[in-house]
Chain A
């Protein structure tokens, strides 16, 4: 199947600054793809070129089979875009915005989306009187109003409360299941890990890693963290060497071991506790997260 987003040899240069340098990327239909990177890595430039807001300096870009610059008029009905700052006229109400943008897309207004994003009670409130979260929810509702094939989201959950965030994640998964392709730029590693089918880490305008969150975290040198709390706290003063443990530390009544292989470390730890007549209160095993891997790559 042909990818919904194709990027080959993409470069974006602003004067002397190279924002993106030779990027290659393919996003499949019905995939949520996370674009991660520190500030200035080139995420927004990539998104803006794919959305047709800017022209690439070099390279081949296709979204839904269309050139984002030359075929922008056709493309605008196939993509939904939520920009980092929502950017609405300050006196425009959510209801007006829905009617306004739907009219330009040639589709009937989607009041159901205002309801779904909990904006019905605020539908006659001017944009500048909405909270940040409400403004972002409105931006999302508008991006989805014409049922786009490809959805570009820039920091979609910034400013959202926990409930709205979970609701949005659920919705994005639904859209993905219906065949919508989602390209998501975010700083939120937990969000990218929870939501994305695949992610790419962008560093200094180049792709540093691409794959599923699991593949990316597994590829790192990250150590698994084993945190233990026991009744008699015998481990606190006990420097007994456990297999595959690289280092240990004590924090908040927990002894934390950093292990290369928890298959060796955890059974040995339990045996050791039994031999010292101590009782386990809590044992936590934390694999290296996408954030750990991200920090490893970017630092």
Chain B
């Protein structure tokens, strides 16, 4: 095993375990999404009987958003603030694993959470199962890529931990309200619907409905999948470009907004 492979494996192993040992990450990767899933499972079917049709995609999307937007950026910012990246730099740890490994380990954690939701929701809450598992896997992968990219990018451009919370909530809260997780996208006014299409969760929910759950999509679902995958890759490239080893290095963060470009195109084209 070469130096790089061995170091990558060691780094991956540490980051994966950090996702279980770090209380904040444990909360965002597992406890918060699974707790919310159980709460919604007990409450929502009584209020909205149609919720059972979208329960699995909604709760999986919620789990992805919690782990990536709320869990992933914070440790990156605190590590930069605490001088961890400077230690990494002088010891030859490259930028790529610093950003990609947390994204990969987060993807594994949220994958495990998604499995728990998919496996238990039909039994516990009589939730509808996906009718096309391949497409379900494709949509969740695209969503995971888009949101881990967003999470890493927020961690890189955020100047402080306080701003991290703000940036994360800027995407998380509207995603909860407008993406179709809580109410159908079609019920939203046209202007708000356009705004909702700037969010990864909206494209994911639309693609889950149209491609895997056997229900109707509000707009072209494959277009949304492409936008998710493209924005995820763009976010990772932008994060690598904008990465700072310490807080003293000044770098403009506005180029990070370029990650919204595929979504803007989506609003105009889909």
| B residues near A69, Cβ cutoff 8 Å | none
Which secondary structure dominates chain A's binding surface? loop
CB pair A81–B10 under 8 Å, yes or no, is no
What separation, in Å, do the CA atoms of A249 and B89 have in the docked complex? Answer: 54
Interface size bucket, B side?
20 to 34
CB pair A105–B91 under 8 Å, yes or no, is yes
Q: Identify which of residues 81-121 in chain A touch chain B, using a CB-to-CB cut-off of 8 Å.
A: 81, 83, 85-92, 96, 99-101, 103-106
What separation, in Å, do the CA atoms of A99 and B75 have in the docked complex? Answer: 21
Instruction: Kindly state whether residue B183 has any CB partner on chain A within 8 Å.
Output: no
Assuming the A-B contacts A76-B90, A106-B3, are A87 and B84 also in contact, with contact meaning beta carbons closer than 8 angstroms in the complex?
yes
| A residues near B92, Cβ cutoff 8 Å | 73, 76-77, 104-105
Instruction: Kindly state whether residue A30 has any CB partner on chain B within 8 Å.
Output: no
Q: Identify which of residues 10-49 in chain B touch chain A, using a CB-to-CB cut-off of 8 Å.
A: 10-11, 14, 18, 21-22
Assuming the A-B contacts A77-B92, A104-B91, A105-B91, are A89 and B3 also in contact, with contact meaning beta carbons closer than 8 angstroms in the complex?
no
Q: How many residues of A contact B (CB 8 A)?
A: 27
Q: Tell me the smallest distance from the CB of B166 to a CB of chain A, in Å.
A: 23
Among A83, A99, A101, A105, the residue within 8 A (CB) of B86 is A83
CB pair B87–A88 under 8 Å, yes or no, is yes
Instruction: Kindly state whether residue A6 has any CB partner on chain B within 8 Å.
Output: no
Instruction: Kindly state whether residue A142 has any CB partner on chain B within 8 Å.
Output: yes
Among A53, A87, A104, the residue within 8 A (CB) of B82 is A87
CB pair A92–B87 under 8 Å, yes or no, is no
What separation, in Å, do the CA atoms of A198 and B28 have in the docked complex? Answer: 53
CB pair B84–A52 under 8 Å, yes or no, is no
Among B14, B22, B90, the residue within 8 A (CB) of A53 is B90
A-B contact pairs, 17 of them (CB 8 A): A52-B89, A53-B246, A77-B92, A81-B90, A83-B90, A85-B83, A86-B83, A87-B83, A87-B86, A88-B84, A88-B87, A90-B22, A91-B22, A96-B14, A100-B14, A103-B9, A142-B91
